[in-house]
A = this chain, B = another copy of it.
Amino acid sequence: MAIRIGIYGYGNLGKGIESAIRHNPDTELVAVFTRRDPKTVQIQTEGVSVYSAADAPKMKDQIDVMILCGGSATDLPVQTPELAKYFNVVDSFDTHARIPEHFANVDQAAKENGNVGIISVGWDPGMFSLNRLYANAILPGGHDYTFWGKGVSQGHSDAIRRIEGVKDARQYTIPVESALEAVRSGSNPELSTREKHTRECFVVAEEGADLAAIEKEIVTMPNYFSDYDTTVHFISEEELQRDHAGIPHGGFVIRTGSTGWNDENKHVIEYRLKLDSNPEFTSSVLVAYARAAYRLNKEGQAGCKTVFDIAPAYLSAEDGAELRKHML
């Protein structure tokens, strides 16, 4: 019998989960929950219904794992602990500074109700975190570097859209190739913010807007752009739609370190993601961890976990003997 999955929130991430379920035959979509009027939400999977978010607890016995697809700012801090009372849950909570607090809240709700909650699943936090942990354990005393991109930053795109005279915008974060090469060389460079990433902006201006003023406001914007070398391109709405509709992202996690009695040998561990769709890749990771949540709970476990706490074999649809035979 397939693992019965519910999707809570049907934005980009929820749609990605729906596609990911289609790619994983041992999982099955049972229901989608929305805070909108369910009648207005059209999903792709035939024969599956959309319900009001408020009705989720009633479906406690029909769903093995609920995947939460809300935002980290205000949705998940409330929703994940609340739904962990009824379901095994998985979320992609990504406010790094608030993870300890979120962990404690989900842990309590999940433990009290015999469920498993896995938080902060995706690629950063998620796969990037895992790679930092493995690399740190192997090369103690080394140096960590994370680069993001090339990819769309939603926050930076939004910041540009708030400028007067801007109709729409898309911002790409781009790692600096020479900085990557310096890190890979094992020279342990100290890199400033400006040296690690550049920012490239594609802006659709309102008719008659002052382009020079918009460009100046972007490149001098504190926190968002002033510490970076930023390029601004003004393009038409058609060009934005045609060339910048995707949500690509990715990045690099690199650790360098040394071994040997006198640290005479250098090593570089590098993990790289190149993603056409940030939300769909995140969704694919979430579904793999939903499989883990289901199995761990079947084994009698309860409480909150992160990617650090879950043995890799739980993510695979194959059993241990199969994995050892052809993947080890």
Q: Is the CB of B280 within 8 A of A274?
A: no
Query: Could you tell me the distance between the alpha carbons of A132 and B315 in the complex, rounded to whole angstroms?
Result: 12
- A284 with B138, Cβ < 8 A, contacts A320-B308, A325-B100 known: yes
User: Is A166 located at the chain interface by the 8 A CB criterion?
Assistant: no
Which of B280, B309, B323 is the one whose CB lies under 8 Å from A320? B309
- In the assembled complex, the CB of A99 is this many whole angstroms from the nearest CB of chain B, namely 5
- In the assembled complex, the CB of A327 is this many whole angstroms from the nearest CB of chain B, namely 5
User: Is A130 located at the chain interface by the 8 A CB criterion?
Assistant: yes
Q: CB within 8 Å of B: which of A291-320?
A: 291, 306-313, 315-317, 320
- In the assembled complex, the CB of A227 is this many whole angstroms from the nearest CB of chain B, namely 22
Q: Is the CB of B19 within 8 A of A260?
A: yes
User: Is A237 located at the chain interface by the 8 A CB criterion?
Assistant: no
In the complex, what residues of B have CB within 8 A of residue A306's CB? 324, 328
Query: Could you tell me the distance between the alpha carbons of A291 and B129 in the complex, rounded to whole angstroms?
Result: 20
In the complex, what residues of B have CB within 8 A of residue A68's CB? none
- A103 with B308, Cβ < 8 A, contacts A138-B285, A281-B267, A285-B138 known: no
Q: CB within 8 Å of B: which of A79-125?
A: 96, 99-100, 103, 120, 125
Q: Is the CB of B316 within 8 A of A136?
A: yes
A sample of 6 cross-chain residue pairs with beta-carbon separation below 8 angstroms, ordered by A number, consists of: A16-B259, A136-B327, A137-B312, A184-B274, A264-B276, A268-B273
**Shortest Cβ-Cβ A-B pairs, 3 listed:** A265-B276, A137-B315, A259-B280
Chain A: residues with CB nearer than 8 A to chain B?
Answer: 16, 18-20, 22-24, 44, 96, 99-100, 103, 120, 125, 127, 129-134, 136-141, 184, 246, 259-261, 264-277, 280-281, 283-285, 288, 291, 306-313, 315-317, 320-321, 323-325, 327-328
Q: A269-B273, A270-B270 are in contact. List 13 more A-B contacts (CB 8 A).
A: A18-B261, A20-B259, A100-B321, A133-B313, A133-B323, A136-B327, A137-B291, A138-B315, A267-B274, A307-B328, A308-B323, A309-B320, A312-B312
